A and B are shown apart, each in its own frame.
Chain A
């Protein structure tokens, strides 16, 4: 009994599990590294530092299993949503986190398109989308962050340095997708793109776990080819609603996590035309500058030197003799 909680003894008694072989070669700076996994396509994914990598999420093959959510939580050691502000259950959907948060970096959206008036639910469908940080090529969060905590990595992903962030929350409103939230430690949290795994030549945990290859990981150029081919296949099959979201640089310079969707973006809770917060900067700064000039001129006019009558009292409130500038009372009189 005395050894019940002795970890060393327990470790000796435990059955020996063979060490998992390293997936991919040990990374060497500047050299290509490869990554494979069940979630990635059957071919090995090869990428190297300095090469943009990303996710292509084909929502048409997502089955809503949430393996990506779980894998993300496990690998990144993220706690369950116990904070009452984030612990939400819709009560009418299989969606059980409802949104991304500072400790939920993956969230499978369930969009339920059913005609409730139809008892047979004919024509109804589920749309599922595994949502995540889009790792925008032009990232709003990175742009507004005042501490430099948000950086771009050598893989062209967007990363929040937890030890630099001071919790000002400007990135929360800078992100066009509402991705970033604060975690329980008071700093901003979002998908890291498994930066630690990338450095070791590994596939991000979510893509590794995805059983249907809905989440594909790889170099952006490769993913774009995959996406174009898949879109062509779907459209040839008559699924004309299919479209790519964020594949090209139509907005934000392109998304390093882009999607194939089968309805308008707003149906999936995505903005039609997301833009950088700095889009407002020239007009806002310009109007502010004009206002400053006007305030300055108003002050100069109001504060200009004016003659004071010799009989003028030093302080306000005392009886005064006639003044060179008439007071409002006198104007009234």
Chain B
């Protein structure tokens, strides 16, 4: 082993629940970010996509949180991450602990997505998000920033450890952020079948940019792993998973963006590309979590 290898590292047994949490957390953050950004910077034609995002984000964050809670050794104590258990209701905040920061992000994201969800389901978007209502814009802005943070903080969480691979490259937070937002936009693309073509094109264009950023950060992540991290990836079957992320999750979708006629048209290409992006996003979380723990997690 290389000299900077820590021989006494322990694995946390973060298994499939955490893979699912990381994946759905990224998707959820990305969905709300896209919807909110369309709300803030788009036009009236984008309203249908915004409304789909508002309907999706809150149920998805509940599902993500469920995965996180189920994985805890003591699920009934999940609230200890939000409040000081011995001095309730004082909030439990440790900004230098990414997991504590994540609880704060989940709180803000949950609040914003809840308000948007209630507005959409019970008032068809006319309560907060009615045109000209500044409150809706504030909710969108807070939710979008929290969504970006939600997509990226899981990468920072694994980086701020002493674990091989996870702690070896700081690019992992950027990688997760681009992947999360990309998968969120991809999900919105898949579900936005009745939106105006311009909105569809906007989402497709955004996903293209995000995929290019993700591809660059994936390469940066892999080349900055150092001797220890590289050994844990390239000397193990985990390398195959990263290959799947690279080819299936990034190169093929980008190729479809570039040559949509090969898939039978722009709509089919964008749909197929979105499916591949979602697969790549899931496999990326699996690959990263499996690197020090093994494929079976």
Contact = CB atoms under 8 A, between A and B. Distances in A.
A277 B34 contact: no
B153 A315 contact: no
Interface stretch (B91-99, B110-118, B129-137, B275-283): B91-99
Interface stretch (A116-124, A144-152, A239-247): A144-152
A176 B162 contact: yes
B206 A299 contact: yes
B81 A314 contact: no
Interface residue SS majority, chain B: helix
B248 interface: no
Interface stretch (A5-13, A29-37, A285-293): A285-293
B170 interface: yes
Contacts of A296: 37, 144, 148
B171 interface: yes
Nearest to B193: A316
Contacts of B163: 173
A327 B198 CA distance: 10
Nearest to A101: B10
Interface in A152-196: 164-170, 172-182, 185-188
B52 interface: no
Given A173-B161, A295-B213, A303-B41, A146 B196 contact: no
A292 B144 CA distance: 10
B74 A165 contact: yes
Interface stretch (A49-57, A71-79, A206-214, A268-276): A268-276
Contact of A315 (B34, B41, B193): B193
A328 B269 contact: yes
B126 interface: no
Contacts of A166: 72-75, 77-78, 80-81
Given A290-B174, A316-B193, A186 B162 contact: no
A38 B44 CA distance: 81
B217 A312 contact: no
B97 A170 contact: yes
Contacts of B181: 295
Contact of A140 (B74, B148, B162, B170): B162
A146 B266 contact: no
A277 B162 CA distance: 6
Given A284-B170, A291-B174, A329-B265, A315 B196 contact: yes
Nearest to B175: A291
A17 interface: no
B89 interface: no
Given A316-B195, A317-B267, A167 B74 contact: yes
Interface stretch (B1-9, B57-65, B238-246): B1-9
Nearest to A176: B162
A277 B196 CA distance: 47
Task: Count chain A CB atoms within 10 A of each CB in B78, B144, B156 and give the residue with the most.
Answer: B156
B194 A316 contact: yes
B149 to A, nearest CB: 7
B162 A174 contact: yes
Contact of A287 (B8, B171, B261): B171
A226 to B, nearest CB: 25
A140 B161 CA distance: 8
Interface of B: 3-14, 33-34, 37-38, 41-43, 45-46, 72-75, 77-78, 80-81, 84-86, 92, 94, 96-100, 102-103, 144-145, 148-149, 152-153, 155-163, 166-167, 170-174, 177-178, 181, 192-198, 200-203, 205-206, 209-210, 213, 217, 257, 259-261, 265-267, 269
13 contacts: A144-B161, A145-B94, A146-B92, A148-B80, A167-B73, A175-B10, A176-B6, A182-B73, A186-B72, A271-B8, A292-B177, A295-B213, A305-B41
Given A286-B170, A299-B206, A300-B41, 9 more contacts: A166-B80, A169-B12, A170-B99, A179-B10, A284-B160, A294-B178, A295-B33, A302-B203, A328-B266
Interface of A: 140, 143-149, 164-170, 172-182, 185-188, 266, 269-275, 277-278, 280-281, 283-288, 290-292, 294-296, 298-306, 308, 312-317, 320, 323, 325, 327-329, 332
